[in-house]
Structure 1
Amino acid sequence: MSRPDREEAAVELMLQFAARTGVTSDRPPRRYLWTDAFAVCNLLGLARAWSSAPLHDVAVRLVDQVHHVLGRHRPDDPRAGRWLSGLSLEAGEEHPTRGGLRIGKPLPERGPDAPFDPDAEWERDGQYYHYLTKWMHALDQLSRVTGDRRGNRLARELAAAAHAGFTYAPRPGARKRMHWKMSIDLSRPLVPSMGHHDPLDGLVTYLQLRAGRGDAAEGPDLAAEIAEMTAIADGLDWTTHDPLGLGGLMTDAYRLDRLIRQGAGGEALLAPVLAAASAGAAAYLRPGRLEQPASRRLAFRELGLAIGLHALERLDAAVRRDPGPYAAMPAARRDLERLATFSPWIEVIESFWSQPEHRRSPTWLGHRDINEVMLATSLAPAGYLSLGDEPSAPPLKATGTRG
C-alpha cells in the first residue's frame, strides 16, 4: 500500500475503535490503558499528517476519558468515583495521574487474603508498570505535538507515582528491584516478580520525559528516579524471543538513538539493547515461524514486532545520514546492520493481518480493540515513534488538553 492508503486504513481503524469504545459515541466507555496509549499516539500522528483538527480532538477526548475512568476507582469498588491518588475531586482534575492508572481489566483486583490464581490474575484489575510507561509516552507525545507542556508534566507526575509504587529494596541498602503488578491503589504487590523489560522501558521513558520537559519547572524532575532505575537496569540481560518484547526492544533502541542525539543521555544502554534485539530477532524470525493459521497466532504480539521493525528502519536511515554515536560502537553498528535485514517481515505481518478472513478468527475478535489499534500503529507508525526531532508538520494548536 502507498503511504496515503496506509494512513487512510489507519484512520478508519481508529475511528471505528473510538466509536466502539465510547470515545465518540454514547456507548459506555471501555477503557484499557495499553490500547488507549497506542490509540492516542495514532490519533495525534494521523491528525498531524492530515492537518485534521477532528482527529486531534478525538485524541484529546480519549486522554480525558482515560484519566476519568482509569484514574479513578472502579464502579464496583466501595471507593467508586474517587481518584486513585486520594486527592479531592477538584485537585484530581489538575493532577489525574498522581495515583497511577488502572489497567482496565474486567474483574476486580484480588483481595489481600485471596489465594493467587495465575489464570484468573490475567483478568483481574490492578496496575501494570509497563502499561503506565506507555501512557507516559502518550502524554509526552501530546505535548510534543501541541507544544503544551501539561501533558509532559502529567507524564512526569505519573512516572514519580509509578516509580514509588513499583520499586522496593529487598533489604536495607540493597539495590532496588521492581514488582510486576500492583494493587489499584499501589499499596501492595499482586505479582511480586520483576517484568523482564520494565527497568529498561522505565529508564528510557524517564529520559524521554526529562528531555521533553523544556524550561518548565513545575512537576518532578525525575533525577532521583533516573538514578535509581539506572542502578536497577545495570547489568541486566534484555534478550527475548517474544515478538512483542522484541518489538519493544527495537523501539527502545530507536528512542535511545534519538535521545542520545538530543544530548539527553542513554549512551550506555544503546549497544546492549541492539545486541539483545539482534540475538532475539535472529532466533525468532526464521522460515516457518509466521506460517501458522490465524487461529494459532496473536495479532497484537506480532504487530508489536512489526512496529519495532518500523522503528529500526527509521534508525537505520538516521545512521546512514549521520553515524553519530556508532562511530565509537562498531559492534552496535553491526547489530543494526543485521537487524535491518529483517525489514521484509513487516510486509509479511501486516499483509497477513490485513486480510479480512484472518480478522474473522477467534484470536483476532477476542482481542479486537488492541489488534486493530496496533495494526493502525504499524500502518502509520509516525505518531507512536516520533520524538519531535524528525522532519514533520508544525505543531497543532493545543485545544482542550486538560486531563
Structure 2
Amino acid sequence: MNKEERINLAGEIMLDFAAQTGVSQENKSPRRYLWTDAFAVFNFLELYHRTQDEEWLMLARHLVDQVHQTLGRHRPDSARSGWLSGLGEEEGARHPTRGGLRIGKKVDERAPDEPMDERLEWERDGQYYHYLTKWMRALGRMSRVTGEAGYLRWAMELAQTAHRAFRFSAAPDGSFGLHWKMSSDLRRSLVPSVGQHDPLDGLVTCCELLFAARGFTDQELPDLEREVRELTGMCRNRDFSTDDTLGIGSILVDACRSGELIINDAFQDIALFQRMVHDGLLSLEDLAATFLDQQARYRLAFRELGLSIGLKGAARLARVFEEYPDARGGELAPWLQPRLEAMLWFHKMSSKIEAFWIEEMRKGTEHWRSHGDINMVMLATSLVPEQFLRSG
C-alpha cells in the first residue's frame, strides 16, 4: 500500500468514525470514549496536515469540545450534575479538564459500599491515568497545530489534576506510585494496583508539554516541574518489559517520543531512555510472533495495532537519530545504533498486522465490530502515525 492509499483509507475510516460516533452529525447522540477519542484527534490532525483540508481540523476541534462537554461532566444517570471539577458553568467551561475526564464506560462506577468485582470493573466508568495522558497529548498536539495556547493550558491543568489525584505514597521511604483507576470525582481509588507504564507515560508526556510551552513564552502556563520530578522517581529501577502487544507498542512509542525530546534538550534522563530502548527490544525478542498465524477470534485488533504503531515509532526513532547523530555530543549513537537496527528487523510485523485487520474490517466480521470504534481509530493511526509519534 503506497502513501496515497494509506492516507485515503485512513480518511475513509475517520469519516466513518465521525459519523458513527456523532462527531460530524449533529442529530446523532455523541458516543464518547476517552482513549478512542484521543487517537481520533491525532488522526484528524494528521489528515489535516497531509491534505490541508480544513474539514479535518474542524472535526478535531468539534471532537475536543464534545469530549469536554460529555466526559468532563458527571454522567446523565448520576445523582450529581455539572463539571467534575465542581466549578460553575462558566468557570468550568474555561477550565474543562480541572476535574479530570471520565473514561466513558457504559456502566456507572461502583458505589463506595459495593464489593469489588474484577470482571465487571472493566465495564465500569471512572478515570484511568493512562487515558488522561493520551488526552493531554491530544490537547498538546492541538495547540501545536493551531498555535493556540488554550489547548496546551487545558493539557497542563489536566496533568496537574491527574498527578495530584492518582499519586499515593507507595512505601515507608516516601516514594510514590500511581493508582490504576480512580472514581469519576477523583476522591477514591477504584483499582489501587499500579499500571506498569503509567509513570513513564506520565513523565514523557509532562516533558512533552513543557517543551511545547517554550513556544508560548508570552503565556502564563502551569508549572509541571514537581510532576516531572516525582514521576522520574517513580520510574527509577523499573522494569518496563512486557509480553503484551499493546504494552510493547506503548514502550516503543515512549522511546520514540523521548528520543525526539532528547534531541531538543527537553528530556534529561538518558539512563531512563536507554532503559526504554533496552526493555522495548527485549520485549520484541521475547514476543511469540505465532499470534500472527492465529484466527481472528483469538486476537484483538486494537492491541495488535498498538504494537504496529509502536513499530512505526521505532522506525521513526531510527530516522531521528540518523538525522541527528551528534545528539548529546554523539555519546548515544554507538550504544543506540545496533539496538535500533535489531528493532527494525521486527518492522515487517506492522504491515502484516495492518493487512490482516484491514481484511477483517472490509469483511465486517464480528471480531472487528465487537470493538469497532477503538479498532477503527487505531488502524487509522497505524496507517498515518506521524502526529501521534511526534513530540516536537
- Calculate the TM-score normalised by the size of structure 1: 0.93
> Which residue matches 1:30?
31
> Which residue matches 2:52?
51
- Of residues 165-174 and 187-196 in structure 1, the stretch that sits farther from structure 2 once superposed is 165-174
Which residue, 327, 339, 342 being the options, matches 1:338?
A: 342
* 8 Å Cα contact 2:361/2:368 also seen in 1: no
Deviation of the 1:169 alpha carbon: 1.2
1:360 to 2:361 alignment: no
Deviation of the 1:321 alpha carbon: 2.4
* 8 Å Cα contact 1:294/1:358 also seen in 2: no
> What's the secondary structure of 1:290's corresponding residue?
helix
Q: Evaluate the alpha carbon distance shift between residue 236 and residue 294 of structure 1 in structure 2; reply closer, same or farther with a 3 A threshold.
A: same
Which residue, 357, 380, 388 being the options, matches 1:384?
A: 388
Instruction: Please show how residues 133-212 of structure 1 align to structure 2 within 5 Å.
Output: 133-170=133-170, 174-212=174-212
> Which residue matches 1:248?
250
In the TM superposition, what whole-angstrom CA distance separates every residue of 1:22-47 from its partner, at most 9, and x where no partner exists?
11112111000000000000001101
> What's the secondary structure of 1:168's corresponding residue?
strand
> What's the secondary structure of 1:184's corresponding residue?
coil
Instruction: Please show how residues 3-402 of structure 1 align to structure 2 within 5 Å.
Output: 3-25=3-25, 26-80=27-81, 82-170=82-170, 174-214=174-214, 215-266=217-268, 267-284=270-287, 286=289, 288-323=290-325, 324-325=327-328, 327-329=330-332, 330-356=334-360, 360-388=364-392
Hey, what's the Cα distance between the residues in 2 that align with 1:221 and 1:357? 44
Hey, what's the Cα distance between the residues in 1 that align with 2:303 and 2:41? 19
Deviation of the 1:256 alpha carbon: 0.5
Deviation of the 1:322 alpha carbon: 2.5
Residue identity opposite 2:79 in structure 1: P
Hey, what's the Cα distance between the residues in 1 that align with 2:171 and 2:285? 39
Q: Evaluate the alpha carbon distance shift between residue 92 and residue 344 of structure 1 in structure 2; reply closer, same or farther with a 3 A threshold.
A: same
Residue identity opposite 2:366 in structure 1: P
> What's the secondary structure of 1:179's corresponding residue?
strand
> Which residue matches 1:396?
none
> What's the secondary structure of 2:291's corresponding residue?
coil
Deviation of the 1:337 alpha carbon: 1.6
* 8 Å Cα contact 1:183/1:190 also seen in 2: yes
In the TM superposition, what whole-angstrom CA distance separates every residue of 1:117-145 from its partner, at most 9, and x where no partner exists?
00000000000000000000000000111
In the TM superposition, what whole-angstrom CA distance separates every residue of 1:40-79 from its partner, at most 9, and x where no partner exists?
0000110111001011100100000000000000001011
Residue identity opposite 1:36 in structure 2: D
Hey, what's the Cα distance between the residues in 2 that align with 1:303 and 1:171? 36
In the TM superposition, what whole-angstrom CA distance separates every residue of 1:155-213 from its partner, at most 9, and x where no partner exists?
00000000000001146651111100000000000000100000000000000001101
Deviation of the 1:285 alpha carbon: 5.2
Residue identity opposite 1:271 in structure 2: Q
Hey, what's the Cα distance between the residues in 2 that align with 1:253 and 1:172? 31
Q: Evaluate the alpha carbon distance shift between residue 51 and residue 353 of structure 1 in structure 2; reply closer, same or farther with a 3 A threshold.
A: same
- Of residues 170-179 and 206-215 in structure 1, the stretch that sits farther from structure 2 once superposed is 170-179
Deviation of the 1:314 alpha carbon: 1.1
> What's the secondary structure of 1:96's corresponding residue?
coil
> What's the secondary structure of 1:212's corresponding residue?
helix
Deviation of the 1:221 alpha carbon: 1.1
* 8 Å Cα contact 1:179/1:189 also seen in 2: yes
User: Unpaired segments of 5 or more residues in structure 2?
Assistant: none
Q: Evaluate the alpha carbon distance shift between residue 168 and residue 356 of structure 1 in structure 2; reply closer, same or farther with a 3 A threshold.
A: closer
* 8 Å Cα contact 2:263/2:324 also seen in 1: no
Deviation of the 1:359 alpha carbon: 5.1
Deviation of the 1:336 alpha carbon: 1.6
Deviation of the 1:356 alpha carbon: 4.2
Residue identity opposite 1:277 in structure 2: G
> What's the secondary structure of 1:180's corresponding residue?
strand
Q: Evaluate the alpha carbon distance shift between residue 338 and residue 39 of structure 1 in structure 2; reply closer, same or farther with a 3 A threshold.
A: same
Q: CA RMSD in A?
A: 1.5
Deviation of the 1:148 alpha carbon: 1.0
> What's the secondary structure of 2:74's corresponding residue?
coil
* 8 Å Cα contact 1:275/1:332 also seen in 2: no
Q: Which has the higher helix share?
A: 2
Aligned residues: 386
In the TM superposition, what whole-angstrom CA distance separates every residue of 1:226-269 from its partner, at most 9, and x where no partner exists?
11111111111101111101111111111001101111124232
In the TM superposition, what whole-angstrom CA distance separates every residue of 1:359-398 from its partner, at most 9, and x where no partner exists?
533221110000011000001112212234xxxxxxxxxx
* 8 Å Cα contact 1:353/1:359 also seen in 2: no
Hey, what's the Cα distance between the residues in 2 that align with 1:171 and 1:283? 31
Hey, what's the Cα distance between the residues in 1 that align with 2:246 and 2:301? 10
Residue identity opposite 2:271 in structure 1: A
Residue identity opposite 1:150 in structure 2: G
Between the two structures, name the one with larger relative contact order (CA 8 Å, sep ≥ 6).
Answer: 1
* 8 Å Cα contact 2:156/2:224 also seen in 1: yes
* 8 Å Cα contact 1:253/1:270 also seen in 2: yes
Hey, what's the Cα distance between the residues in 2 that align with 1:293 and 1:368? 18
Q: Evaluate the alpha carbon distance shift between residue 196 and residue 377 of structure 1 in structure 2; reply closer, same or farther with a 3 A threshold.
A: same
